[in-house]
Amino acid sequence: MRIDLAGRTALVTGSTQGIGAAIAAGLAEAGAAVAVNGRDSDRVEQAVEELRRKVPDGDVSAVPADVATEEGALQAFEQVPDVDILVNNVGIFGSKDVLEIDDAEWRHYFDVNVFSAVRLTRLYMPRMLKQNRGRILYLSSESSVAIPAEMVHYGTTKTAMLALGRGFAKRAAGTRVTVNSVLAGPTHTEGVEEFVYNLVGRDVPWHEAEAAFMRKFRPQSLLQRLIEPAEIANMVVYLSSDQASATTGGAIRVEGGIVDAIVP
């Protein structure tokens, strides 16, 4: 299968590192013009340069904006108003006793993980519907259906993203605009390495820490390892393509079999 996204423009939120950076690279390699987003303009420019080195012929631009705020979402839209592929990837996560999470922290998680996606979908979907072409994706998580005891606030926001994917897909019913969520499993990023070390301790080599984390905190994983960012990106690139034209309103699993269910 050869995926060709030439002539498409993609905005990937939170794409200066980790899964977002891998998605931006995957889309650029498939021929899409990619807008890299992050809060810090210097970090965004650095990520753009890194992506240009990785994909020398790629069309890559910088879109610095804090899309977790209403003002930032509008700034992103003004910088790149014509988007064919919107990947709502930006997100935060952390471990905390659910009884110690105050209202401010709950609001912050929803602002970043949920409302950023709501606002950007509201801004970009009308043009997609008018053109009768577009792809909108939400980076959810296996934590949306298997809520981790140590990160209930995170899991709850990811459950909300599944509802967004289904709900906005209904708004696009009868068109060639598709809307899907991607259930990503535990993924090997710098942020997750820090998260793992905080849970299992720092006095062991990384491969032992990873194994201990999977054994103790994610024992139901069939992969029994962390997923690499490029493995998540591969699914996003496919769902962004014409080949995925009949897939919409779905929650597509790239979680290593961690969700013990035989239906999506």
**Catalytically active residues, by annotation:** 154
* Cα–Cα distance measured from residue 37 to residue 47, given in angstroms and rounded to the nearest whole number: 9
* Cα–Cα distance measured from residue 90 to residue 149, given in angstroms and rounded to the nearest whole number: 22
134-141 and 33-38: which strand pairing? unpaired
Q: What is the DSSP letter of 192?
A: H
* Cα–Cα distance measured from residue 14 to residue 88, given in angstroms and rounded to the nearest whole number: 8
